[in-house]
């Protein structure tokens, strides 16, 4: 018995791609614009509800394209208002997306891969391993599925690509999704309302910023290669000097500037990277790069060897940065009670605490024995 081949999903196509597809079907350009705006400006996901189209065209589109790529299978509500949903694709792969409501905005934390290949040592998603990249439609559908969970008039105002996966290792699909998010006839988000986070896939950063002038966030987490090699194993392929050198080159081309600074994510781990000496090194590393630093005390999860610093240690670390007039924000955990905080998104059980390396040195030795960073970066 032969399986039925699924229809191509219309949400895989930016407006230019949709116009080209419609032209190949003998349909005029304005019909592509009409359908595109129906999907994203009006939120109509079923062609039979696009009543400004003829019945014949609606039937033709229904037989030519799928419109939904993810279904919501489970929802968790945090005491602080954060909402996490488990979303399932047609192949049964599952991802998580998170809504973070605040008084003046609502941020959606978007996933780009099922699992993650980078194995960052403090991150639960990295313990899942890598399954596959998300399609453009699956990235876009997270907005559709998650906004349906909002109450009243609240809208998703900001997107942060900080969920499961490394966005720059799925860059073609991420860029196509960005075209849909940014298009005035699509979701019409302003570029400064979208942030793409990377662990430092250096060759892809310029390609991202050339394609879309969105905010760039870099997951730094350490001030020496020795420590970062453990926390972010990708550093062995793209060490700090290479990563920061590329950002300085982008600054000279004005892809990074005072108006468009780089956001550096720095997860604080007790007795690992939280000393005043680390803070001073951080200032030296970022000298000359327009920067904003988000300090994030680590969110513990099952199997983690790391713990957050004391309040005094956090205060001392941030004090060094503040006294140097470095823009710095302390990002407190949101949704930790539903495992929705940074570094906690995971869909599989991870190894137990007793199986974890007990020291950073042991973790480095274990990682050296298992990771092929060249292979990771070619995926």
DSSP string, 23-71: HHTT--HHHHHHHHHHHHTS----GGG-TTS-HHHHHHHHHH-B---EE
Q: Cβ distance 116 to 168 under 8 Å? A: no
Annotated catalytic residue: which of 109, 120, 123, 342?
342
For the chain, domain boundaries = 10-64, 70-377
Q: Burial of 220 by CB count in 10 Å (0-12 exposed, 13-18 middle, 19+ buried)?
A: buried
The pLDDT of residue 296 is: 93
Question: b or e along 238-258 (b: 16 or more beta carbons within 10 Å of the residue's beta carbon)?
Answer: bbbeebbebbeebbeeebbee
Q: Cβ distance 79 to 130 under 8 Å? A: no
Tell me if residue 342 is catalytic.
yes
Please tell me the class of the 70-377 domain. alpha beta
The H or E element containing residue 283 is: helix 276-285
pLDDT tens by residue, the chain, 379 residues: 555 678 999 999 999 999 999 999 999 999 999 999 999 999 999 999 999 999 999 999 999 999 999 999 999 998 888 999 999 999 999 999 999 998 899 999 999 999 999 888 888 777 778 899 999 999 999 999 999 999 878 899 999 999 999 999 999 999 999 999 999 999 999 999 999 999 999 999 999 999 999 999 999 999 999 999 999 999 999 999 999 999 999 988 888 888 899 999 999 999 999 999 999 999 999 999 999 999 999 987 667 788 999 999 999 999 999 999 999 999 876 655 655 545 444 544 333 333 333 333 333 333 333 333 333 333 2
| C-alpha to C-alpha distances, 141 to 10, 174, 181, nearest whole angstrom | 11, 13, 11
C-alpha span between 348 and 361 (Å, rounded) = 26
Q: Cβ distance 221 to 228 under 8 Å? A: yes
Please state the pTM of the whole predicted model: 0.86
Task: Tell the residue number behind the tokens 């699956």, with chain if given.
Answer: 138
The pLDDT of residue 252 is: 87
Q: Cβ distance 347 to 94 under 8 Å? A: yes
The H or E element containing residue 313 is: helix 311-323
The pLDDT of residue 253 is: 86
Tell me if residue 123 is catalytic.
no
Q: Which CATH number fits domain 10-64: 3.40.50.300, 1.10.150.530, 3.40.50.10320, 3.50.40.10?
A: 1.10.150.530
Would you give the DSSP letter of residue 167? Answer: G
């Amino acid at each position: 018995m032969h399986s039925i081949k699924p229809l191509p999903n219309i949400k895989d196509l930016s407006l230019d791609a949709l116009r080209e597809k419609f032209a190949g079907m003998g349909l005029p350009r304005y019909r592509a614009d009409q359908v595109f705006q129906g999907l994203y400006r009006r939120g109509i996901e079923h062609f039979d509800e696009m009543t400004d189209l003829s019945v014949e065209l609606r039937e033709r589109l229904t037989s030519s394209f799928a419109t939904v790529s993810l279904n919501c299978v489970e929802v968790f509500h945090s005491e602080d208002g954060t909402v996490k949903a488990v979303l399932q694709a047609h192949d049964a792969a599952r991802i998580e997306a998170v809504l973070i409501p605040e008084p003046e905005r609502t941020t959606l934390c978007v996933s780009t891969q099922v699992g993650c290949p980078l194995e960052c040592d403090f991150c639960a998603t990295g313990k899942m391993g890598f399954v596959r990249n998300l399609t453009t439609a699956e990235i876009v559908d997270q907005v559709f599925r998650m906004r349906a969970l909002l109450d009243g008039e609240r809208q998703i105002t900001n997107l942060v690509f900080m969920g499961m996966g490394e966005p720059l290792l799925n860059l073609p699909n991420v860029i196509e999704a960005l075209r849909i998010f940014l298009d005035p006839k699509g979701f019409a988000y302003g570029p400064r309302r979208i942030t793409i986070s990377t662990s430092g896939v250096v060759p892809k950063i310029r390609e991202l910023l050339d394609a879309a002038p969105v905010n760039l966030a870099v997951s730094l987490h350490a001030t020496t290669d020795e420590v970062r090699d453990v926390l972010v194993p990708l550093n062995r392929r793209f060490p700090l000097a290479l990563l920061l050198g590329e950002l300085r080159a982008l600054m000279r081309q004005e892809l990074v500037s005072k108006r468009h600074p780089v956001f550096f994510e720095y997860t604080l781990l007790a007795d690992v990277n939280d000393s005043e000496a680390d803070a001073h090194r951080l200032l030296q590393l970022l000298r000359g790069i327009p920067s904003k630093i988000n300090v994030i005390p680590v969110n513990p999860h099952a199997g983690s060897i790391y713990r957050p610093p004391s309040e005094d240690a956090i205060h001392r670390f941030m004090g060094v940065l503040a006294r140097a007039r470095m823009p710095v924000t302390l990002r407190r955990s949101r949704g930790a009670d539903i495992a929705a905080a940074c570094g906690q998104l995971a869909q599989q059980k991870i190894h137990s605490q007793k199986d974890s390396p007990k020291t950073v040195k042991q973790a480095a030795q274990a990682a050296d024995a298992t990771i092929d960073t060249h292979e990771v970066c070619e995926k």
